[in-house]
Amino acid sequence: MIIHIDMDAFYASVEVRDNPALRGKPVVVGGSPQGRGVVSAASYEARTFGIHSAMSAAQAVRLCPQAIFIRPRMEHYVALSRQIREIFFRFTPLVEPLSLDEAFLDVAGSRQLFGPAAEIARQIKKTIRDELDLTASAGVAPNKFVAKVASDLEKPDGLVVVPDGTVQEFMDPLSIRRVWGIGPQTETRFQSLGVSTVRGIRQLPMDVLKRSFGIHAGHFWRLSRGIDSRPVVTEREARSISHETTFSHDIAEADALHGWLQELTEQVTMRMRRLQIKGRTLQIKVRFSNFRTITRSTSFSEYTFETRQCVRAARRLLDRVLEDEAQPVRLLGAGLSNLNMDAPVQRTLFDEAERQRQSRIDETCDAVKQKFGNAAVRSAAALSHNIRSRRTVVPEDRYDEQVDG
């Protein structure tokens, strides 16, 4: 059985826990409503006004003028996330983090020690509450998709168990919006077919699904039946690691963009070294002011997590993108994929001394940042353009730190 644990309004709950005067009030964690701030998390009191994560802060304040806006404290949330993850590892080594505040756990091998999966979920929830004074919701099911759906049904502090053999009964009455990949536009197309529940999707003939949804037909067919064969993938088996940021205002200056890209790439490589994972493919993501989004990648001859090598490659990719597009940039991201934690290093007589020197530089910078924070070591470009270390990420099928939902 699979357990999906999802912390309840994680960032907002942490702020309320740390400042009890906020209890019962509409709390929004995110950027400033005076700029392009985005909601990272909203307390359940704020959600009653329609505020949700990824909404613009300006819209949030229109919905709830009395909302209390708090700037995110990412390092604090990351530290708490590590404590939560340590609790998970007490019950199973098979933990797949999805973000700072949620994870899948495969507990099939833990039942002899801790009991049935539902009991393990209860113990995890209780441990988180007792040790961290935070609440989590859990879904228990035969696979990842159904477990994630279940964990969201009775928030906050929920526990929904879907026993093996009851998946179809559980899924059938749910709204089609519970199916991954069905957003407002796809929902409208299903409604034009007279479908509003998962049962309705399941009852559609495959030829109708193919005609209406093309290559996505098989995806909807499987999920409407609660079919999901994906295993729990541990952190060290992640597909890619990346960081991105949306700017408070569009940036047209190439030097400033280079500074931001270096900051993002440094964050990625530092995290790779912490996990002892190397990557062979570096990619960047650029979203312009007209929302046109471009991704570019390059592959190295060997696996690496060396900062200087990755920064140089990222800058070359960005230069090529900027040559072809004159629009200011709204979002910038960098990441490494094609990962390997056991990658051999091809050594040569002439570059070994330089490689060791760069390794010592990276290790020293990592140690200083670990002790004093990311701002303790900054590049000249970051200082000259007043670049602050910050992280937002995209929700994809890989291990990224994401905004709290």
Residues 6+ apart with CB under 8 A from 340: 277, 278, 279, 280, 303
pLDDT tier for residue 237 given thresholds of 50, 70 and 90: low
Instruction: Determine which helix (DSSP H) or strand (DSSP E) holds 357, and give its type and residue range.
Output: helix 352-372
Within 64-151, residue ranges assigned H as helices are 74-91, 111-114, 117-132, 144-151
The yes-or-no verdict on residue 392 having pLDDT over 50 is no
Burial 150-184 (b: 16+ CB within 10 A, else e): bbeeebeebbbbbeeeebeebbbeeebebbeebee
pLDDT tier for residue 40 given thresholds of 50, 70 and 90: confident
pLDDT (0 to 100) of residue 383: 45
pLDDT (0 to 100) of residue 235: 62
What's the mean pLDDT in 183-211?
92
Given CA atoms 369, 359, 399, 337 in this order, what sign does their dihedral have? positive
- In words, the CATH class of domain 169-224 is mainly alpha
**How far is the CA of 174 from the CAs of 20, 21, 138, 160, in angstroms?**
36, 37, 18, 14
pLDDT (0 to 100) of residue 55: 85
Tell which wins on pLDDT, 360 or 45.
Answer: 45
Residues 6+ apart with CB under 8 A from 230: 143, 144
Exposed, middle or buried: residue 340 (CB in 10 Å: 0-12, 13-18, 19+)? Answer: exposed
pLDDT tier for residue 398 given thresholds of 50, 70 and 90: very low
The residue extents of the domains of the chain are: 1-164, 169-224, 235-384
Catalytic residue positions, numbered? 102
Given CA atoms 192, 194, 197, 202 in this order, what sign does their dihedral have? negative
What's the mean pLDDT in 214-243?
84
Indicate the range of 78-82, 137-141, 200-204, 289-293 predicted with least confidence.
Answer: 289-293
pLDDT digits (tens, 9 = 90+) for 319-342: 999 988 888 998 999 999 888 765
pLDDT (0 to 100) of residue 240: 78
pLDDT (0 to 100) of residue 236: 55
The yes-or-no verdict on residue 20 having pLDDT over 90 is yes
What's the mean pLDDT in 261-286?
89
What's the mean pLDDT in 209-222?
91
- Report the alpha-carbon distance of residue 309 to residue 301 in Å, rounded: 12
Tell me, what DSSP letter sits at residue 56? B
pLDDT tier for residue 361 given thresholds of 50, 70 and 90: low
pLDDT tier for residue 75 given thresholds of 50, 70 and 90: confident
- In words, the CATH class of domain 1-164 is alpha beta
Q: How many CB atoms lie within 10 A of CB 362?
A: 18
Q: Partners of 297 in the beta sheet?
A: 283
- Report the alpha-carbon distance of residue 153 to residue 28 in Å, rounded: 22
What's the mean pLDDT in 234-249?
75
The amino acid sitting at 282 is L
Indicate the range of 31-45, 237-251, 379-393 predicted with least confidence.
Answer: 379-393
Which CATH architecture describes the domain 235-384? 2-Layer Sandwich (3.30)
pLDDT (0 to 100) of residue 99: 80
- Report the alpha-carbon distance of residue 55 to residue 33 in Å, rounded: 11
